[in-house]
Amino acid sequence: MSALLTATCVVPAAGAVVTAALPAGTTEARRRTTKTVALAFSAVTLALTAVVTARFDPDGARYQLTESYSWIRSFGITFSLGVDGIGAVLALLTAVLVPVVLLASWHDADPAAAAGGSADPDTFETRRRTQAFFALVLAVEAMVVVSFYATDVFLFYVFFEAMLIPMYFLIGGFGDRAGGPDSARQRSYAAVKFLLYNLLGGLVMLAAVIGLYVIAQGQGLGTFDLQTLTGAIADGRLEIGGTAEKALFLGFFFAFAVKAPLWPLHTWLPNAMGEATAGTAVLITAVVDKVGTFAMLRFCLGLFPDASKTFAPAILVLSVIGIIYGALLAIGQKDIKRLVAYASISHFGFIIMGIFALTSQGQSGATLYMVNHGISTAAWMLVAGFLISRRGSRLIADYGGVQKVAPVLAGTFLIGGLATLSLPGLAPFVSEFLVLVGTFSRYPAVGIVATFGIVLAALYALLLYQRTMTGPVKEGVRGMPDLRARELAVVAPLVALTLLLGVYPKPLTDLVNPSVDATLSQVHQTDPAPAHPVAADHGTGQDGTARSGGEHK
């Protein structure tokens, strides 16, 4: 039994411990050492997740590189890990983004950044800021990676909830430098709101997890092992009654919808992203929130197939409302970071819509959307963070003419905005197209209404660029420096991935399609037959995503 998955999870956790234990950052040299150590651990984690992805065989078993260690034997709880195609690409996304976040946040936790630069550098809290920030980021990474690899329901639940703790401290303890005199109170409010919303979802899920165990134990399956449970459901050894299955589904789904976030459970996100540093905001929307949508695929559809089909139409309605609502509120925002937050709410509506359209195109597109949204939003938000740090304001009205004084910054900001509106040739276009095609094939009305989200996305993305980057140069923008070498190193790989996956998504689709096939087979769904059948089955397209319709294989 290989321990590769365990090593991949342990490395960032060990990095968090080592980073936290380093000497206090009383000098610039010590702070640089802390940052370098954290970055090195994140680089090793990236290498390990790359090895995991490379060793995953799309034509092999659904869960590979499996490991299982006894944990709480009396309740059938194990530390069980296994990777499927969806978990592999999302863990790789996490491992790619964390070094980028660390590099982008290089100075966000320096003593001068505490309390807007006015903190006493001799206090213990200020001296330990650097260690705390970088250790917390690595702790989040470790918990998210475990969540993507976990094949024990209880193990997943533990880390699904545990990641709230470091995120709470990252939001509440480290705000951006553009915060006003009331920023500390606003950060505290945002952190508490984030924690309470997600804890409520977690408590509901805990009740559902216990209910699932009680039902399984009553039928001779006293275990939390996901493969055992889904296999027993598939062959009839585990039967969950209609009402019980619906109740358990709602318990799991509620927790995932809060974290995703799905309208109307989204209201914590704009506060959290608005008050956090740009790097922490990327962790929230590009990494942590993806655990919610990933879990809908793995647990909601896998454990409760009939309930998933029953509630799919209602969830699609909520998703479409979220798409339109998030885009409309993004258009009306005056704060750059809150605009990106509401845009993300709209994008998560597309992801959830693709999942519950219950088609191969929809679910492949939703999985790609998780990856592409993570990359493009990270680029957009981090460049916005660089912009805000220069001007000291999050208000759109305080900017104008930036492209004349910082053309590279403006150019990368434009690429992030164009990716957000899913411009053809950029990565999000492929995933959004697949989601809409997959949804339209089963629910045409839903697909048509959701398409208006694309138009609204063009409005908020291009209006933001026009108001901040074009026009006369405003007084506070004069003399603004362009992107520095470190900032270019942050943005360049994200832009490169956005372009590469926009023209060649096949490596990702080859990984995720077998897992999508397995998920659809669990819910006993096939793709709708085309209204006008073609003469021959053309199979999978050149990019590995296009399918001809007909029966799902």
Residue-wise pLDDT tens digits, 273-305 = 988 889 999 999 999 999 999 999 999 998 899
Q: Is the pLDDT of residue 3 over 80?
A: yes
pLDDT average, residue stretch 98-118: 75
More confident residue, 234 or 539: 234
Mean per-residue pLDDT of the chain: 87
DSSP string, 169-231: HHHHH-B-TT--TTHHHHHHHHHHHHHHHHHHHHHHHHHHHHHHHHHHHHTT----BHHHHHH
40 token code pair:
């090195």
Q: How many residues does the chain have?
A: 553
pLDDT digits (tens, 9 = 90+) for 171-184: 988 876 665 667 77
What's the rounded Cα separation, in Å, for the pair 440 and 21? 53
Read off the tokens for 500: 């590469």
Task: Compute CA distances 158 → 203, 209, 271, 295, 481, whole Å.
Answer: 11, 11, 25, 13, 45
What are the backbone dihedrals phi and psi of residue 524, each rounded to the nearest 5 degrees, phi first? 55, 45
C-alpha distance from residue 9 to each of 51, 79, 216 (Å): 13, 12, 29
The answer on pLDDT for 533 being more than 60 is no
Which DSSP category does 70 fall into?
A: E
The rounded distance, in Å, linking the Cα atoms of 197 and 379 is 27
Cα–Cα separations (whole angstroms), residue 319 to 240, 263, 295, 358: 27, 7, 16, 14
Q: What is the pLDDT of residue 154?
A: 94
- Give Rg (Cα) of the chain: 23
Judge whether 350 and 362 are in contact, CB under 8 Å: no
Give the per-residue pLDDT at 540. 44
Q: Kindly tell me the sign of the dihedral angle through the C-alpha atoms of 349, 350, 352, 358.
A: positive
CB atoms within 10 A of CB 27: 11
- pLDDT tens per residue, range 424-471: 999 999 999 999 999 998 899 999 999 999 999 999 999 999 999 998
Q: Angle 420-175-269 (CA atoms, 0-180°, nearest 5)?
A: 45
Q: What is the per-residue pLDDT across 326-366, written as a single tens digit (0 to 9) for each? A: 999 999 999 999 999 999 999 999 999 999 999 989 999 99
- Terminal C-alpha separation, the chain: 31
The helix (run of H) or strand (run of E) holding residue 253 is: helix 242-259
Instruction: Give CA–CA dist 310/324, Å, rounded.
Output: 24
The SS3 call for residue 406 is coil
pLDDT tens sequence across 391-408: 888 899 889 889 999 999
Q: How far is CA 325 from the centre of its chain?
A: 20
* Tokens read off for 238: 């585990």
Nearest one of 341, 259, 270, 279 to 100, comparing CA atoms: 279
Report the SS3 class of residue 239: coil
* Residue 241 pLDDT: 76
Q: Residue 112 has what pLDDT?
A: 62
Q: What is the structure's pLDDT at 193?
A: 93
In our burial notation (b when 16+ CB lie closer than 10 A, e otherwise), range 149-188 reads bbbbbbbbbbbbbbbbebbbbbbbbbbbbbbeeebbeebe
Q: Which residues pair with 276 in a beta bridge?
A: 175
pLDDT of residue 500: 93
**Better-predicted residue by pLDDT, 387 or 130:** 387
SS (H, E, C) 418-434: HHHCCCCCCHHHHHHHH
pLDDT per residue over 113-156, tens digit each?
A: 554 444 445 554 566 788 889 999 999 999 999 999 999 999 99
Answer whether residue 544 shows pLDDT above 50: no
Give pLDDT, residue 223: 86
Say what the pLDDT of residue 236 is. 80
The pLDDT value recorded for residue 234 is 82
Amino acid at 60: G
Q: What is the pLDDT of residue 115?
A: 45
- C-alpha span between 15 and 135 (Å, rounded): 7
For 316-319, the CB contacts below 8 A with 24+ separation are 316/353, 316/356, 316/357, 316/439, 316/443, 316/446, 317/446, 318/257, 318/262, 318/263, 318/264, 318/349, 318/352, 319/262, 319/263, 319/349, 319/350, 319/352, 319/353, 319/356, 319/450
List the one residue out of 471, 368, 476 whose CA is nearest residue 422: 368
